[in-house]
Amino acid sequence: MRTNDVGGGALRRPRVPAAGTGDDRPRAPLPSRVEDLPPPPDGLAEALGAVVAEPAQRAPIILHARFLLAWNAAINLTAITDPVALARLHVADSLAAVDLVAAGPHADLLDIGSGGGFPGLPLALALPATRVVLVEATAKKARFLAALVGALGLADRIAVRPERAEALAAPGGPRVDVVTARAVGALADLVELALPLLRPGGRLVAWKRGDIATELSAAARAAAALGGAPPVVVPAGRPGPSGHVLVIVERRGDPPPGYPRDPALRRHRPW
């Protein structure tokens, strides 16, 4: 007798793959419904509550973390699984840009390379009037994001695009007020990708850490060539140990045709 039918019942168990199953063996489907998720680890709600100021945002943020941990067993979404570290290094780090984003035009936001959903998902929850596009080139990560957005009931406001941002930046693609990117590529590449995706007056917000002087000069050259303002570095606005600063590049004019270039050409002719 089968006990894991979609109809459910008292015997339904969380459908997560058993540890150590090889790729050649059939895997159980990953959970796409809240009731199929394993219970949250101890301390998760408290850790997230400490970094999410708005009580109404806590339940969806906790759900995000539970999805992340459940799917992380099968697809590599994050190396950070400790609840306190996850709350600070992923959630608080993502939310560091809320005030800055809210201070400018923010009717819509596109997150390049969302991976496990950072920073796009916490920002979407903190900015409930903003339409959000999560762009993720790796198909299985995009499937994770789509399952999460569906379970949150936010599919009408948060879209998941399983493709490269280059495809969306081409003529005829979406144009938004804010482009975000954390842990995705060099700053100059992000400028080249983001400026064509922005409306004039819109801004790229990139999370960067460490010594970024060289990256910043290349990004400044890219911005100048593509109609962007010089990059501005903002220390992350909220407490957080991630060490990230936010780099802002505003779109002022129009990028010339032909940008963003093909990734191979970008590698061959860096800024």
Contact pattern for ligand SAH over residues 184 through 203, marking x by CB under 6 A: xx------------------
The least CB distance from residue 61 to ligand SAH, in Å, is 15
Per CB under 6 A, 141 contacts ligand SAH: yes
Per CB under 6 A, 220 contacts ligand SAH: no
8 A C-beta contact, residue 77 and residue 144: yes
From CA 191, how far away is CA 198, in angstroms rounded? Answer: 10
Residue 36 or 169: the one with the smaller Cβ distance to ligand SAH is: 169
Per CB under 6 A, 92 contacts ligand SAH: no
The phi, psi pair for 230, rounded to 5°, reads -60, 145
Beta strands in the chain (DSSP E): 108-112, 131-135, 158-161, 176-182, 198-208, 232-235, 245-250
Per CB under 6 A, 240 contacts ligand SAH: no
From CA 57, how far away is CA 68, in angstroms rounded? Answer: 17
Q: Residues with Cβ < 8 Å from 28, sequence gap 6 or more? A: 4, 15, 16, 17, 18
Per CB under 6 A, 114 contacts ligand SAH: yes
Residue 57 or 138: the one with the smaller Cβ distance to ligand SAH is: 138
Per CB under 6 A, 178 contacts ligand SAH: no
Chain residue at closest Cβ approach to ligand SAH? 113
From CA 228, how far away is CA 219, in angstroms rounded? Answer: 10
Residue 112 or 151: the one with the smaller Cβ distance to ligand SAH is: 112
Per CB under 6 A, 182 contacts ligand SAH: yes
8 A C-beta contact, residue 151 and residue 74: no
Per CB under 6 A, 166 contacts ligand SAH: yes
